[in-house]
Amino acid sequence: MNADAVLFDLDGTLADTAPDLGAAVNRLLAERGRPAVALDQLRPHTSSGVRGMLLAAFDIRPGELDYDALSERFLELYEQNLCVDTRLFDDIDDLLSSLERRSIKWGIVTNKRARFTDPLIAALDLHHRACCVISGDSAPRPKPAPDPLLLACEVSGIEPARCIYVGDDLRDIQSGRAAGMLTVAAAYGYLGLDSPVSDWAADHIIDSPADLIRLLGL
């Protein structure tokens, strides 16, 4: 695997954000007089963002009565505590350092909105290291469209064919393939419930960030 840059999804790939997202939705449940939901039950829905968390906690979908109000309040609660228990996954810092030592650029492409992405990346002390940080509202269309990944290449000065995209959701793989990148599915992430990772047609599947270090020969 030769590449000039490695791009990463954020939630479930680079960082374990589920504890803080879960805490926000449980605070919302408490406000509505409902019992909390265990983090293990919420975790698979995390990569689907607000839609996934509200579905898991309230069994409600976009367009249904009260969804917009719940969504707005959930985001308010999450924004207040973006990086309390969020941590980089094990071996991620070693992976990023290995890329940097080999002068391989790395960046972040997420569907998370910039109002959450930017302060979170700063809190994780990654803002000065990434070659780009592309959020869900940075490009005309979010993933699974290729737009955010193509924008990342434009910003970073890298050809898509020389990039690897790593993600833990089917949309990540679809977006990477549409952009003409080599794709890697992070099986240690949240994965969702729609289809098994083996059906995503990713070029590679890794069980830990350390697997990518080995794949890249770092």
81-140: pLDDT as tens digits: 999 999 999 999 999 999 999 999 999 999 999 999 999 999 999 999 999 999 999 999
- Report the percentage of the chain scoring pLDDT > 70: 100
Query: What does the pLDDT read at residue 40?
Result: 94
Backbone angles phi, psi at 165, to 5 degrees: -115, 130
Query: What does the pLDDT read at residue 12?
Result: 96
The set of catalytic residues is 9, 11
11-63 pLDDT, tens per residue?
999 999 999 999 999 999 999 999 999 999 999 999 888 999 999 999 999 99
| Residue of 120 and 193 predicted with greater confidence | 120
Mean local confidence (pLDDT), 172-190: 98
For the chain, give every domain's residue range.
Answer: 5-16+86-215, 18-80
Which CATH superfamily hosts domain 5-16+86-215?
HAD superfamily/HAD-like (3.40.50.1000)
Whether 80 shows a pLDDT value over 90: the answer reads: yes
Q: How far apart are CA 185 and CA 200, in angstroms?
A: 8
Query: What does the pLDDT read at residue 2?
Result: 85
Q: What angle do CA 113, 115, 118 make, to 5 degrees?
A: 95
The answer to whether the beta carbons of residues 184 and 165 sit under 8 Å apart is yes
Query: What does the pLDDT read at residue 164?
Result: 98
Whether 193 shows a pLDDT value over 90: the answer reads: no
Query: What does the pLDDT read at residue 1?
Result: 74
Distance set, CA 103 to CA 21, 95, 96, 174 (Å): 33, 12, 10, 27
State both tokens at 212: 């990518």
Mean local confidence (pLDDT), 179-187: 98
